[in-house]
A and B are shown apart, each in its own frame.
Chain A
Amino acid sequence: MEAARQTNDAVDPAVGAARDALFRRVLQFCGLLRGSGFTVTSGHIIDAVRSLPHIDLLEPDALRWALRVNLVGSREEEATFDRLFDAFWRNAAPLEEVASELELEPRPDERNREHPETPPDLRGGPRQWSPDGVTQDVDLEARWGEPAPDLEALLRELARRLATRPSRRLQPSPRGRRIDLRRSLRRNLRHGMDFVELSRARRRVRKTRLVLFCDVSGSMDSYNPFLLELMFGLQKRLGNSRTVVFSTEATEISALLRQQSVRQTLGEIARRARHWSGGTDIGGALGLLNRRVLREGAPRSTVAIILSDGYDQGDPNRIEREMRALRRRVRTVVWVNPLLGTDGYAPIAKGMRAALPYVDHFLPAHDIGSLRALCRDLARI
């Protein structure tokens, strides 16, 4: 602080110039961060600059840490930040060079414009799984249709019924059946403790937390429109639910689904989940779900909904092990299999067979009719 104040008071032009240069560099760096997808508000920048007088700039990494604690918001951002920081501060290259050096991916909308895609044929029957994990660009927009009005209503109903579970706790309600003694006392203090009015309470409604675990491997391609509608619909209505898409890898897209513009989001999802339409490794993906999403401290009241046809190239034993672990971590496991509705389908795929003992509800979903049935069944859970 002393040092800082001295520089403020002393009119040493060299120090002043150095300080201004540092200040400009920090501002430039904030601009770079913002361009790379960080949320950097002016409040962030002010606090970052306010931090500077408190640190010893000669100490290795002090500047990095001071800026980092101010400007990042997650572990992943910390890693990206470090990469950007190194590139920006180690070599004093101009901003554009840094950006190109890091091969910052262009914004999704720009990319889509540059590479128009031919929409895949969604009419074809379900493909078998592809042999390898595929990394490719998928045009999700082509697979998205505006939900039909009755589907919209159905989803609203589904969300409402899934979200309602009576809690042990009470909340004030004029039409509640219980008497809320504490509130009644408070209200009647003004009447000199003669009980003129009674306050009532009812059981609080508890929100169920949903984890939607969607298979987006190649064999599920023809169900993409349905999957997308379900994911967007549920995430919008049950804010605290989480959505993970998987094929050979798994990607959480909850935050993306919450954004307003569906079309913009689709491009972003395709960019993030580059394994879309790839192979399938249900066991591995479930492992990630168990270890990362349903980690210690996650509420046990969660309902896990798995949407998959059960075709898998992985090890069935792994699926069995991870399903057993999943079953212990959540309240209910629902498996929605789009093949279940088709004639003559029996769950004989090895992966599906391994998982079935741990599934509480095994439900079909392949068209609007079965979706309505699904809604009815899910609401009963």
Chain B
Amino acid sequence: MADKSRAIFRTPETVQEAFAAENYIADRPLALTVMLGAELEKPILLEGEAGVGKTDVAKVLAGALDTPLIRLQCYEGLDASTTIYEWNYPRQILQIRMAEQDPALKSSLQTSIFGDEFLLSRPLLQAIRHPGPRPAVLLIDEVDRADEEFEAFLLEVLSDFQVTVPEIGTLTAALRPLVVLTSNRTRELSDALKRRCLYLWIDYPSPAKEREIVRRRVPEIEAALAEQICAAMQTLRRVDFYKRPGIAETLDWARALLRLGALTLGPGLLEETAGCVLKYHDDIERLHAIGGERILAGEIADEREAEGL
């Protein structure tokens, strides 16, 4: 195309269709955000509770575009060298030792020793060097786990998409990758990073959306059972648990019940399989105290406290 548009997704509908083909149900705001992210070449920052499908957005995006997914998992103490590149020293030494024996190798050593074959590309460099034809998808997962210093460094990379390797020179992305950042919001990200991104909060799904997700991801399941599972999940999310279950837990639970050959979800079975849904001992105790009957009957008032903090 002549204009600057990359025309990856022309409309939100195209995003929804492409995601649906990968069995991911994208609602309109998400579809619009993905489309704008591609068009404006801005990273997308997705925040939300654990298990609502933030990481999947990047996976599905890569699948839909049939491009590689380059993943950078963040953790405390993550630094620049493990995210951009390292030289493969053992191989370099080997090469030097070999060159000492072989005069032919020796003359070319100076140029060859810092060649591509000795460069170990880490995720950020991989994303920058991706040749195309379509842009790679760069997933920077759980960015809230990394230190603030790393965030500042990331900011630099995300604005220019170029890194400098002293021995080679400056490498610039021929094709800017589509960047998806996710955060569980264990800490507030810096304003500067947020400013670079399109922001979207991903909430728990509506009952209808959740049923659709279960139907697509666990197609073998009986509709009635899926219905029961989703209804129970909606009720469970109203309880003030330490960790409220997300969609990931719904799917685990559906698969578990399918494997058990269950036809309906009874109170006993619900309590027995609570471990699929709740991951804290305190929460499971709480569930037993409430009782499976009350959960299935949906008789739980919304305990979620006003969004305090």
A residues in contact (CB < 8 Å) with B:
1, 5, 39, 41, 43-44, 47, 50-51, 54-56, 61-62, 65-66, 68-70, 72-76, 78, 167, 169, 182, 185-186, 189, 192-193, 204, 206-207, 239-240, 242, 244, 249-252, 254-255, 284, 287-293, 295-299, 301, 321, 324-325
Query: How far does the Cβ of A52 sit from chain B's closest Cβ, in whole Å?
Result: 10
Chain B contacts for A250, CB-based, 8 A: 308-309
Q: How far is the CA of A240 from the CA of B188 in the complex (A)?
A: 10
Please name the 6 residue pairs, one residue from A and one from B, whose CB atoms are nearest each other, closest first. Answer: A73-B194, A69-B198, A292-B309, A297-B184, A75-B201, A298-B186
Q: How far is the CB of B128 from chain A (nearest CB, A)?
A: 22
Distance between Cα atoms of A62 and B29 in the complex (Å): 8
Chain A residues near B92: list those with CB within 8 A: 185, 189
State whether B89 touches A47 (Cβ < 8 A).
no
Q: How far is the CB of A318 from chain B (nearest CB, A)?
A: 11
The answer, among B49, B97, B113, for a CB contact under 8 Å with A189, is B113
Q: Is the CB of A240 within 8 A of B187?
A: yes
- Residues on A with C-beta less than 8 A from B198 are 69-70
Confirm or deny: B80 has a beta carbon within 8 angstroms of a beta carbon on chain A.
no
Provide 8 A-B residue pairs closer than 8 Å at the C-beta atoms, listed in order of the A residue: A56-B11, A74-B188, A75-B47, A206-B76, A287-B305, A296-B49, A296-B184, A325-B280
A69 and B240 contact, CB distance less than 8 A: no
Known contacts A56-B11, A69-B33, A75-B201; is-contact A292 B308 (Cβ 8 Å) = yes
Q: Is B215 an interface residue (CB 8 A)?
A: no
Contact (Cβ within 8 A) B282 A321 = yes
| Cβ 8 A contact of B199, one of A73, A240, A287, A290 | A73
Q: Residue B36 contacts which of A69, A72, A255, A289 (CB distance < 8 angstroms)?
A: A69
- Whether A239 pairs with B186 at a CB distance below 8 angstroms is no
State the Cβ distance, B85 to closest chain A Cβ, in Å: 13
Q: How far is the CA of A254 from the CA of B142 in the complex (A)?
A: 21
Contact among B1, B3, B40, B199 with A51 in the assembled complex (CB-CB below 8 Å): B40
A80 to chain B, nearest CB (A): 12
Smallest CB–CB gap between A359 and chain B, Å?
18
Set of chain A residues within 8 Å of B147, measured between Cβ atoms: 207, 240
Rounded to whole angstroms, the CA-CA distance of A242 and B148 in the bound complex is 14
Residue on A nearest B5 in the bound complex, by CB: A1
CB distance from A273 to the nearest CB of B (A): 11
Does B267 reach chain A (CB closer than 8 Å)? no
Give the nearest-CB partner of B307 in chain A.
A76
Q: Does B294 interact with chain A (Cβ within 8 Å)?
A: no
Does the CB pair B142–A69 fall under 8 Å? no
Q: Does B211 contact A (CB under 8 A)?
A: no
Residues of B within 8 A of A204 (CB): 77
B230 to chain A, nearest CB (A): 22
In the complex, whether B130 has a CB less than 8 A from a CB of chain A is: no
Residues of A near B44 (CB, < 8 A) are 69
Task: Tell me whether A1 and B3 are in contact in the complex, defined as CB-CB below 8 angstroms, given that A254-B188, A288-B305, A321-B282 are known contacts.
Answer: yes
- Bits for B257-300, please: 1 = Cβ < 8 Å to A, else 0: 00000000000000000000000101000000000000000000
Tell me, yes or no, whether B145 is within 8 Å of chain A by CB. yes
CA distance A295 to B185 in the complex (A): 8
Among the interface residues A182, A189, A207, A249, which one has the most CB atoms of the partner chain B within 10 A? A189
- Give B89's nearest chain A residue, CB to CB: A185
- Is B32 within 8 A of A66, CB to CB? yes
When the two chains form the complex, which single residue of B3, B33, B195, B305 contacts A43, counting CB atoms closer than 8 Å? B195
> Is B242 located at the chain interface by the 8 A CB criterion?
yes
Q: Within 8 Å of chain A (Cβ to Cβ): is B209?
A: no
Note all chain A residues with C-beta closer than 8 A to B186: 295-299
Of chain B, the residue at the smallest CB distance from A184 is B89
Beta-carbon nearest neighbor of A51 in chain B:
B36
The answer for the CA separation of A296 and B48 in the assembled complex, in Å, is 11
Find B89's partner among A167, A186, A287, A299 (CB 8 Å cutoff).
Answer: A186
Q: How far is the CB of B3 from chain A (nearest CB, A)?
A: 7
Additional pairs, 17, CB under 8 Å, beyond known A65-B32, A244-B309: A1-B3, A39-B195, A51-B40, A54-B39, A56-B11, A61-B29, A65-B29, A69-B36, A69-B44, A69-B199, A288-B308, A291-B240, A292-B308, A293-B309, A295-B243, A297-B184, A301-B76
In B1-41, the 8 Å CB interface with A consists of 1, 3, 5, 7, 10-12, 28-29, 32-33, 35-36, 39-40
Most B-side CB within 10 Å, residue of A43, A185, A301: A185
B59: CB under 8 A from chain A? no
Q: Are B195 and A41 within 8 A (Cβ)? A: yes
Q: Which residues of B contact A192 (CB under 8 A)?
A: 96
**B242 in contact with A291 (CB, 8 Å):** yes
**Which B residues lie within 8 Å of A5 (CB)?**
3
A280 CB to closest chain B CB (Å) equals: 15
